[in-house]
Structure 1
């Protein structure tokens, strides 16, 4: 069984027992997170689609790590003027372990 879930502004395909890396969620390591924006669930007996979300469906996950992504470098310059500007940026990320997918 797998599900499509909306976390922040992105959609993720999740399976029970899977680890996923998502945008930062303000929870401590070890805490449970209940994700209620379930868009689709594929079960053995068929597929359930939401309009836009499935009522009474939720995904229970656990925060395993708070981390940061790779450094993204932004660079701009003006030719012939010697002007250069470099900026770096790292996103804050949360690692989730999917424990259970509940429907109904």
Structure 2
């Protein structure tokens, strides 16, 4: 997703408490002063810092399944768990390496496999 300083975004639930600061370090591309840089796959010297505003649920969707001619009908609903955060700053260079309170790993399954 494309992020800008001062805007809020909703993503799938992150493991961070409301009010805490998170660091999103997996930046694919960065544009500053007309210069566009792309990572291979990520830019190591660019990081996004954000403040977690709230945890919430998304809109309810209806899941309906049935089997024709068998009188089998089931209706379920689902609400996705979401986290809303506001981007406080986009850091570049030496400043990007300084981590705030919480660092969010966007792929927790890979982290557990590496630890094992």
TM-score by length of 2: 0.77
Q: Distance in 2 between matches of 1:93 and 1:34?
A: 17
Normalized per residue, which structure has more helix? 2
Cα deviation for residue 63 of structure 1 reads 0.3
Cα deviation for residue 72 of structure 1 reads 1.4
Equivalent pairs counted in the alignment come to 93
Q: Distance in 2 between matches of 1:81 and 1:49?
A: 55
1:39 and 2:28 equivalent?
yes
2:37 pairs, out of 48, 51, 59, with 48
**Structure 1 runs of 4+ with >4 Å offset:** none
Question: Which stretches in structure 1 are left out of the alignment for 5+ residues?
Answer: 1-11
3-state DSSP of counterpart to 1:51 = strand
Question: Which stretches in structure 2 are left out of the alignment for 5+ residues?
Answer: 94-116
TM-score by length of 1: 0.85
User: RMSD of the alignment, in Å?
Assistant: 0.9
3-state DSSP of counterpart to 2:14 = coil
Q: Distance in 1 between matches of 2:4 and 2:68?
A: 50
